[in-house]
Structure 1
């Protein structure tokens, strides 16, 4: 029993020291990190020396070893983690011309453990060439000529935050990172593996990052840029909202989430697209990410984004905004069964009705 208590205590102290040191270096800059790192290493060396001297002059080797072994393990782990984090912190801080927020530094460290290190170095090298703008809700990396776009992106995110608070639920979303690209090749290189075609924007939940390709059309019409920001930020807001409710987005059909993002993006720039007759595909065939990617390919005859927008627009016009919240945070029931309970009609009936009403509206 005593051995178990010692083991648990040693593990707890080791874990606590590791997390504390990691959090400390997330908050520190390059020089401060080195100074604190050296100080902690000196303290660890001093404590280790005291323990070692006690061991040398101790009465019984076995008894002394039992007493000092757990402490030595904690001291050794603390010294090792301090050296590792201080060097990593200094290397990351000095690799970029601007300071990094703790959240962004944490993303880099997590990616370094979860993905190929070469990709992390490539990303850091690329970000070194960009300017950075930080605010409470967002951090934007951009080329010097895109400073106005970066400012407008941060301003638009504040607008999107208020918009979602009003029409879905009050939620203080996690901060998001936005990277603006001008070169399509660099844009594709920095995206994780995906099956989508003709991308101009992609939200990566694991990075809490929005990747946006800035085109000439966006320079001429800023609403196109802001609509894309609103669309991708809505994905981030949904993921953050679900996380607060101890959920992820795996229970949501792709058409439903993409429809919300498309609707919010267009509403944010006050765009109300006129209904255009389309080659309709049942929403049950737009359920998974794979389904969505297939139907959104270049040669597809379907328009899943526009079709999903019309569906969410119909729910809003039906006065079912509150139903959208219920569908988002559904924890147990099948989505389509809950959809029928909330709206009073099956998904097939809803599809037929909203298409008919859109056609009637078009003829007016």
Structure 2
């Protein structure tokens, strides 16, 4: 019974030390710059290991080597050991989060965004873990530029089609954004949209780009139609590749500007990706269900309206096409650069274009409406 009480006492002490250390360090990291916080977390990891090593040494060393006061070698040493062990766990936790932020998310995060990232594992609905390794198993690989394409033997005829789509998207995004430092990207071919949904839980989706993991995934709609270059399967397959490639290039450019990727609203991300994916495509305008651009800022908002039959992709495409037709293709780069200067998209957008998002809401279909009138005449 005495042993059980002792174990419970030590567990309680360690838990309290862990909680105290976590909140103290989180308060510190919320108050300091993200990049500086990354270096602080490295120092803390090293000092935590040093502190714990000292405790172990004090427990096992010969008393004759050094003579510390008795109170340090008993209860206080045990307490210091708990604090050091807690310090190790918490320091490595914040190191991993800060590493992710500085390498993937940009330098300038708001207080609310920092809190979200530092408490991500404790949130009620964490994002589903996708097993990309399982998707790659038993597949052949083909290297093209910085892409490793994972495919099955009967899908080999898709490789030259994928290469052409990558080349075209590379050319167009380079013209839009300039030179961007490329990462190594894994390109996974899914046999169907149903398989893509089964593996990723992405609803009504033909492709995706997973930024933190540098993964592009594309679903096959009709293999024979694609390889025979017949419409509409061939067009949509290549358009989806170009769309997802643009997400990759755009997010890489945004991060190069030191911005948090989703400081730029999602409608802008998707609009630019659609602009490249549908480049030079001629189609007649038709009325569609749209919403305020202010409702399409986050992924959660985007999915809400997308799955409620709003034409959010078309709306975003028309908005970007209006901006480009009015100001030229360099405007996309200028908007992001101006946003980076003030860390605020609405201000950066207004600075680059001379109009507000509210103004855009009222005029982005102006060209399409004029074209519709001309066609009727």
174, 195, 220: which one pairs with 1:186? 195
Q: Give yes or no for the alignment of 1:358 onto 2:364.
A: no
How many residues are treated as equivalent by the alignment? 251
Instruction: State the 1:275 CA deviation.
Output: 1.8
1:158 has 2:164 as partner = no
Q: TM-score with structure 2 length normalisation?
A: 0.60
In structure 2, distance between residues paired with 1:136 and 1:278: 39
Q: Does the 8 A contact of 2:187 with 2:215 survive in 1?
A: yes
Matched residue, 1:325: 333
Task: Specify the SS of the correspondent of 1:178.
Answer: strand
Provide the residue aligned with 2:285 in structure 1: 275
Are the counterparts in 2 of residues 320 and 343 from structure 1 also a CA contact under 8 Å?
no
Distance 1:124 1:145 in 2: 20
8 Å contact from structure 2 (residues 335, 353) kept in 1: no
Distance 1:237 1:343, change over 3 A: same
Q: Distance in 2 between matches of 1:274 and 1:305?
A: 16
Task: Name 2:218's counterpart in structure 1.
Answer: 212
Cα separation, 1, equivalents of 2:193 and 2:168 = 28
What is the aligned partner in structure 1 of residue 348 from structure 2?
338
The SS at the match of 2:148 is strand
2-side partners of 1:213 and 1:310: how far apart?
Answer: 25
Residues 1:359 and 1:188: Cα distance change in structure 2 (over 3 Å): same
Residues 235, 169 of structure 1: CA spacing in aligned structure 2 closer, same or farther, 3 A cutoff?
A: same
In structure 1, how many angstroms separate the alpha carbons of the residues matched to 2:234 and 2:179? Answer: 28
Q: 1:348 aligns with which of 355, 358, 363?
A: 358
TM superposition score normalised by structure 1: 0.62
Where in structure 2 are the equivalents of 1:167-246 lying within 5 Å? 167-191=176-200, 197-216=203-222, 218-219=226-227, 220=230, 221-246=233-258
**Pair 1:131–1:363, CA change in 2 (3 A):** same
1:259 alignment partner in structure 2: 271
Q: How do 1:120-131 and structure 2 match up within 5 A?
A: 123-131=132-140
Q: Verify the 8 A CA contact 1:173 1:241 in the aligned structure 2.
A: no
- Structure 2 CA distance, aligned partners of 1:62 and 1:185? 69
Contact persistence 2:209–2:215 (CA under 8 A): yes
Alpha-carbon distance in structure 2 between the residues aligned to 1:226 and 1:203:
15
Structure 1: gaps spanning 5 or more residues: 1-7, 15-60, 64-113
Residues 95-153 of structure 1 show CA distances to partners (whole Å, capped at 9, x for unaligned) of xxxxxxxxxxxxxxxxxxx9xxxx78x64444232111012221110121211212321
Counterpart CA distance in 2 for 1:228 and 1:310 is: 17
Q: 1:311 to 1:185 in 2, by over 3 A?
A: closer
2:319–2:364 Cα contact (<8 Å) kept = yes
The alignment partner of 2:216 has SS state of strand
CA distance in 2, matches of 1:145, 1:323: 42
Residues in 1 aligned to 2:170 and 2:345: alpha-carbon distance in whole angstroms: 26
Flag the 1:324–1:283 CA change in 2: closer, same or farther, 3 A: same
**Rounded Cα–Cα distance in structure 2 between residues aligned with 1:245 and 1:354:** 27
Q: 1:318 to 1:123 in 2, by over 3 A?
A: closer
Unmatched segments (≥5 aa) in structure 2: 1-42, 50-63, 67-120, 122-128
| Aligned mates of 1:135, 1:321 — CA distance in 2 | 27
SS of alignment partner, residue 218 of structure 2:
strand
* Counterparts of 1:237 and 1:265, CA distance in 2: 13
Could you tell me how far apart the structure 1 residues matched to 2:258 and 2:319 are? 27
